Chain A
Amino acid sequence: MGNFLVWVVWIFAAFACLASAVGVVTFKNPFLSALALIGNLGSLAVLYLLVSAEFVAAAQVLVYAGAVMVMFLFVIAYIGPRQETPWAGGPSWQAFGAVLAAAAIFVEIIVAIALKAGGRLAHSDHVNATFGSPGWIGRLFLTDHLLAFEITSIVLLVAAVGGVILGSHTKRAVEMS
């Protein structure tokens, strides 16, 4: 019974995830695209919970759906939502090439999965009770993956400095001109 419920939740989450991803790419209004991406991130968090990655799911909702998407919506509101059709000006060779390349990537990944995995990729039922919990992740971060943890902080710092420089440079350029 529990197994059946997991499948039902998985199918709902996966379809919501795929539909909202298609929505992000096809909506004309960037505002709607950003809202569809929030739905995509939320349903991905459900999928993460199903593979017992509780902390990553919580971080996904907090960092992505919370902070990053608010920044996106703020910038879209600042610039003003301008309509843009993905197929403007008829199907050009560029659009045709884009669809072809994306389809090629998809087929390639699916073939690779089918060849390498086959039916042998069923994960084991038993998993450690602490698997994916915040304490477990924290211990991993501060023991085995300490270097990655510190480098992540440096990356974030550099990005923040870059954002400040990008913001201030244009102001100086406008004053000079």
Chain B
Amino acid sequence: MLGPGVAWYLGVSAFLFSIGALGVLLRRNPLIVLLSLEIMLNGANLALIAFSRHAGNGAGQIFALAVMAVAASEVCVGLGLVVAIHRRRLELDVDRLSELRG
């Protein structure tokens, strides 16, 4: 089973990463920012797994699973923040939420 080479996977992962970066920079809804962050993490994961297959070494897949766990915890804290902001009746706009004090 000899499919596309690693360079093709790296191209897809580069596109995913930059689209995610665009979403993080462009969108103002914190939920969409979190979703775009997930896309960036997945782009990095794809590169890790493609290199793992290329080198025949499992460390890349282990790293990808660790990234998944970090993404899950980041979503946990991020969604907690979004719900806390919503409960305080603040506007959900990352441009307006530029101060850390309530």
Contact = CB atoms under 8 A, between A and B. Distances in A.
Interface of A: 2-3, 6-7, 10, 14, 17-18, 21-22, 24-25, 30, 33-34, 37, 40-41, 44, 47-48, 50-53, 55-56, 59-60, 63-64, 67-68, 71-72, 75-76, 78-79, 82, 84, 86, 95, 97-99, 101-103, 105-106, 109-110, 113, 117, 119, 121-125, 127-128, 131-132, 136-137, 140-141, 144-145, 148, 152, 155-156, 158-160, 162-163, 166-167, 169-171, 173-174
A19 to B, nearest CB: 10
A60 B68 contact: yes
Contacts of A169: 84
Interface string B70-102: 111111110111111011100010000000001
Interface residues of B, number: 71
Q: Which of A3, A18, A102, A125 has the most CB of B within 10 A?
A: A102
Contact of A10 (B3, B14, B25, B66): B3
A95 to B, nearest CB: 6
Given A37-B39, A109-B14, A121 B69 contact: no
Given A25-B26, A148-B66, A166 B1 contact: no
A7 B58 contact: no
Nearest to B83: A75
If over half of A's interface residues share one DSSP class (helix, strand or loop), that class is named, otherwise mixed; here it is helix
16 contacts: A64-B38, A72-B75, A75-B83, A79-B82, A79-B92, A97-B25, A106-B15, A113-B11, A122-B5, A123-B5, A123-B53, A128-B56, A156-B69, A159-B77, A166-B83, A170-B87
Nearest to B5: A122
A47 B12 contact: yes
Given A7-B4, A102-B21, A109-B14, A72 B35 contact: yes
Given A24-B36, A55-B61, A63-B72, A117 B46 contact: no
Interface of B: 1-12, 14-23, 25-29, 31-32, 34-36, 38-39, 42, 45-46, 49-50, 52-54, 56, 58-59, 61-62, 64-66, 68-77, 79-84, 86-88, 92, 102
Complex A-B, nearest 6 residue pairs according to Cβ-Cβ distance, in ascending order? A159-B73, A98-B25, A6-B3, A166-B80, A102-B22, A106-B18
A24 B39 contact: yes
B5 A121 contact: yes
Contacts of B46: 44, 47-48
A103 B10 CA distance: 16
Contacts of A25: 19-20, 22-23, 26-27, 32, 36, 39
